Structure 1
Amino acid sequence: MGAQYMYISVFIAELIFLIASTSATWSSPMLVKLNGTDDNPLGYVISKTENSLLASLNIIGSLIGSIIFGMLGQKFGRKSLLTFLGLPLLVFCLVMAWCKVYWLLLSCRFIIGIACGGVFTILPMYCGEIADANNRGILGASLTVFMNVGMLIPYCLGPFIPYFWFHIILAVLPAIYMVLFYVFAPESPYHLIKTDEDAARKVLLKIRSKEKVPQIIEEMKLSMKQTTDVSIMDILRSRGLRKAFIMGLGGFTFQQLTGTIIVATYTQTIFEEAGSGISSDLCPIIVAIAQLIMTIFVSAISDRYPRKFLLSLSHFLVALVQIPFGAYFFLKKHDYDVESVSWLPLVCLIIYVCVYNIGVGPVLVTFLGELFPPRVKGVAISCMLSVNWIGSFFLTSYFNTMNDALGIGVLFWLFSLCSFLAVIFIKFFMIETKGKTLEEIQKELND
């Protein structure tokens, strides 16, 4: 019963990850509508500058949100914050449905971005603290499944239903989530132990086997005594925390340098430049479905293999598939006839999202949730996510500039090189966390 309740609680919590992820691909169908007049609530075709701001301002919001909620995560319960974060996603999707002025639409994107930053910061903390050491892998991998379902929703619905009803649907989802999460999910025992040991024990009795609870309580109390509220400088001064921070920061940096944000944001642009015979509206859906199927498969097997193995394998395969992908665009840019292999970009991107989700996507999220002790998680995760958001913003903002200067082919060859370097980083700088308790991980980091 304990394991079933834990799974239900985490899966309900992960619904907000699905909802927040719709923001990442919102721009793909909605900017098409705003660049036309048939279903445009603004009444005019937006400029290229307005287009870029709508596509990227939510990333700046996410950066700010990760910092704010990283700090709030030290003072307020994970459940309270995750419940609250559903509210702006609900309210501002409704505002967007009726919005008829650009500045208000832009403001909504920014505020929704702040909420998404909070979700991406607090949710891994909650899942890492609720899940047992033996099943954190599958629960962490399921985060990526929920994320990919969320990213798929705008691709599948946006082009085919009116702008107004699209945003009404996006508003209904957080309303359902808030009710389910408030009613069924428990507070994190790692948060409760700070002020109410009995409440923490009651939660543990629901999500763990009864005989393990006394030992877990003692381990949690010992962990809380050994850690205090910290700043980023405290993390950098501690040998163990500094090692963990470097691992997490390196993991996120190499994740960005696989080019994943470029693939997610500019899929349609890439296919238009590739000149594939398949519709550029349909290709993103095909790629997103392939990605979803792969993440479901990985969720089922993620706890069978070590984290480092899956991360290394994923980065290595990502590096390999980007070589022919880059070659196609390099040859096309230099006026070689590539019509006979016009199918290659679609095949390469399908393979890319599949191998990316073997490890780089889901395993890194799990690794992050396992790496830090409770009182450090808020500061550490918010700092790393801030760097992640900054990287996303610059890659998204300067993609067109880099494309003009280098071409998509050379750009993805550079991403391939970075993925090969990531394999070396994982081999020599990361530790294994699979099957270990939070206390065992901290001991290894400090040895």
Structure 2
Amino acid sequence: MSAAGGDKYQYLAAISVNIISISYGAFCGWPSSSFLELAAENSPLETGPLSPKDQGWVASNICLGGLFGTFLFTWLADKIGRKWSLMWMALPNLLGWVIIPFARNPMHLIIARFIGGAAGGGCFTVIPIYISELASDNIRGTLGVFLVLTCNFGVVLAFILGYYFNYAQVSWIVSSLSFVFVGCFWFMPETPQYLAKTNKVEEAEHSLRYYRNIKSNPAKELSEELQLELQQLKTTEKPAGDADDDDAEATGVTWADFAKGKTRKAFLIGFGLISFNQLCGCFAMLNYTAVIFEQAGSSLKPTIAAIIVGGIQLVGTYLSTLLVDKLGRKLLLLVSAVGIGLGQSAMGIYSYLQVTGYHVASFSWVPIAGFSFMLLLAAVGLLSLPFLVISEIMPQKIRSTAIMLLMSVLWLISTCVIKLMPVFTATLGMHGTVFMFASLSFSAAVFIAIFVPETKGKTVEAILASL
């Protein structure tokens, strides 16, 4: 059996489930061009042009929706399964898009963004769990990065559609992805681990055979590795007398589970990665794309600049999918953090020299080069891999709860950094703000070098043993 043949249904599942990530990515990219239309004098809103304050609320409310979705869909993932939790995400994802064309005031847009953000919270919480529970060790990294790759593809899609269509037409076009997602993902089985945990071992075996592309007949077709996987599923089965305790099993995580030495260290590593994912400033600085290009004397329209930036992120994330199972997670994270810091340092030096009166006109390419280099390296590692790593290092019992808590931290930090960005630039200046982010990026590199384990090709048990 070829590796390609054995893995094809895992790739199919990863592509199908991430169709909804494309839609959420488009939701993230939608404000870039739409705000230009909504803030214009001839704004279609009945309340008139969208003010900067309202733009801030409309843009950042997706993070609050993400926080809500993180709790809701993680709870559903343990109650009704990974598959059906993901299927239900299509509803808020669709509603978020459908409300936008009918919006008559900023509050309608804020509600739409909150609802769409809830679907995003579910995506970044449940999809990593789903992938980690079905993927073979040798391709788990590649499949795990699909989440960020498809999300970035959605961002670029929104930028391109926004260049050719108005904000309402973009909403109708992208809303169709919800139906495509349901149509494709409907046929995927539940993950083997979840089925085994809920005392459905026969279904779990069929699921494992499906994802490993093995006929459901003789056991002699199975390699030793797959026989071991099946045996592990069977040992996950609860005795018949404990069937009534299914609900307690799903929600029976206690603080004592987090207090175990290895588990506590795994959680703290995840906390550090998630925190630096936002504190490196790359996501927040995307809001300053137009400012940076204008500062460099670029004559590009903001919409074209956004498409270029989105394309850079997409290329970086694609490189990550190619390299993550070859070079490993730790090396890519380390190179990414250092690269982000170097790109930000170049931008900060240029901005500082410009503010202090030095003639830097001949170096006007530096901000764009530094910004592009920063985004490329960020997409290769620090913006894409933490979601994969935390799903790999968490023990199965606390995986859902731990990822829910860590994603809640991410949404809170993201909201705070985006809202405080104007305060930072007003008090520290653009150069001071960028230097602050650069120092945090270099701190992330130190953290990764010392604490983050390599997880490439390892089982959860082996990863925990190495901590």
TM-score category (smaller protein):
over 0.9
Output the amino acid matched with 1:138: T
Kept in 1, the 8 Å contact 2:296–2:368? The answer is: no
- Determine if the alignment matches structure 1 residue 355 to structure 2 residue 368: no
- Determine if the alignment matches structure 1 residue 317 to structure 2 residue 330: no
> Partners in 2 of 1:300 and 1:76 — Cα distance?
34
Partner residue in 2 for 1:427: 449
Output the amino acid matched with 2:196: I
| Selected match of 2:142 from 138, 141, 153 | 138
Q: Secondary structure at the match of 2:302?
A: coil
> Partners in 2 of 1:344 and 1:283 — Cα distance?
16
Question: How far 1:348 sits from its partner (Å)?
Answer: 1.3
Deviations 1:118-172 (A, max 9, x none): 1111011011111111111111222222121011122222133122211101211
| Selected match of 1:393 from 402, 411, 415 | 415
Question: How far 1:27 sits from its partner (Å)?
Answer: 1.6
Kept in 1, the 8 Å contact 2:340–2:374? The answer is: yes
> Partners in 2 of 1:217 and 1:245 — Cα distance?
28
Kept in 1, the 8 Å contact 2:95–2:115? The answer is: no
- Determine if the alignment matches structure 1 residue 329 to structure 2 residue 340: no
Partner residue in 1 for 2:107: 103
> Partners in 1 of 2:132 and 2:389 — Cα distance?
9
Partner residue in 1 for 2:284: 262
Partner residue in 1 for 2:243: none
Change in CA separation of 1:398 and 1:216 when aligned onto 2, cut-off 3 Å: same
Partner residue in 2 for 1:301: 323
- Determine if the alignment matches structure 1 residue 188 to structure 2 residue 204: no
Q: Secondary structure at the match of 1:336?
A: coil
1:109-188 alignment, distance < 5 Å:
109-183=113-187, 185-188=188-191
Kept in 2, the 8 Å contact 1:201–1:213? The answer is: no
Partner residue in 2 for 1:216: 229
Change in CA separation of 1:179 and 1:439 when aligned onto 2, cut-off 3 Å: same
> Partners in 1 of 2:121 and 2:331 — Cα distance?
29
Deviations 1:221-278 (A, max 9, x none): 54678x9745462343121211111011101111212112213333224333444333
> Partners in 2 of 1:231 and 1:265 — Cα distance?
38
> Partners in 2 of 1:113 and 1:154 — Cα distance?
16
- Determine if the alignment matches structure 1 residue 380 to structure 2 residue 402: yes
Question: How far 1:293 sits from its partner (Å)?
Answer: 1.8
Kept in 2, the 8 Å contact 1:229–1:376? The answer is: no
Output the amino acid matched with 1:238: K
Calculate the TM-score normalised by the size of structure 2.
0.90
Change in CA separation of 1:380 and 1:364 when aligned onto 2, cut-off 3 Å: same
Question: How far 1:283 sits from its partner (Å)?
Answer: 1.6
Change in CA separation of 1:223 and 1:229 when aligned onto 2, cut-off 3 Å: farther
5+ residue gaps, structure 2, are 215-221, 239-248
> Partners in 1 of 2:358 and 2:422 — Cα distance?
22
- Determine if the alignment matches structure 1 residue 5 to structure 2 residue 9: yes
Q: Secondary structure at the match of 2:186?
A: helix
Calculate the TM-score normalised by the size of structure 1.
0.93
Question: How far 1:287 sits from its partner (Å)?
Answer: 1.7
Kept in 2, the 8 Å contact 1:90–1:174? The answer is: yes
Q: Secondary structure at the match of 1:304?
A: coil
Kept in 2, the 8 Å contact 1:224–1:375? The answer is: no
- Determine if the alignment matches structure 1 residue 252 to structure 2 residue 283: no
- Higher alpha-carbon deviation: 212-221 or 65-74: 212-221
- Determine if the alignment matches structure 1 residue 240 to structure 2 residue 262: yes
> Partners in 1 of 2:46 and 2:462 — Cα distance?
56
> Partners in 2 of 1:8 and 1:143 — Cα distance?
13
Output the amino acid matched with 1:10: A
- Higher alpha-carbon deviation: 95-104 or 319-328: 95-104
Q: Secondary structure at the match of 2:89?
A: helix
Q: How many percent identity over aligned positions?
A: 29
Q: Secondary structure at the match of 1:421?
A: helix
Aligned residues: 443
Question: How far 1:204 sits from its partner (Å)?
Answer: 0.7
Kept in 2, the 8 Å contact 1:40–1:163? The answer is: no
> Partners in 2 of 1:427 and 1:343 — Cα distance?
32
Question: How far 1:437 sits from its partner (Å)?
Answer: 1.4
- Determine if the alignment matches structure 1 residue 40 to structure 2 residue 53: no
1:14-53 alignment, distance < 5 Å:
14-38=18-42, 40-42=44-46, 44-53=48-57
Q: Which has the higher contact order (CA 8 A, sep 6+)?
A: 1
Partner residue in 2 for 1:403: 425
Q: CA RMSD in A?
A: 2.0
> Partners in 2 of 1:9 and 1:233 — Cα distance?
33
Kept in 1, the 8 Å contact 2:7–2:211? The answer is: yes
Kept in 2, the 8 Å contact 1:333–1:407? The answer is: no
Kept in 1, the 8 Å contact 2:32–2:306? The answer is: no
Change in CA separation of 1:325 and 1:405 when aligned onto 2, cut-off 3 Å: same
- Determine if the alignment matches structure 1 residue 414 to structure 2 residue 439: no
> Partners in 1 of 2:82 and 2:182 — Cα distance?
13
- Determine if the alignment matches structure 1 residue 90 to structure 2 residue 103: no
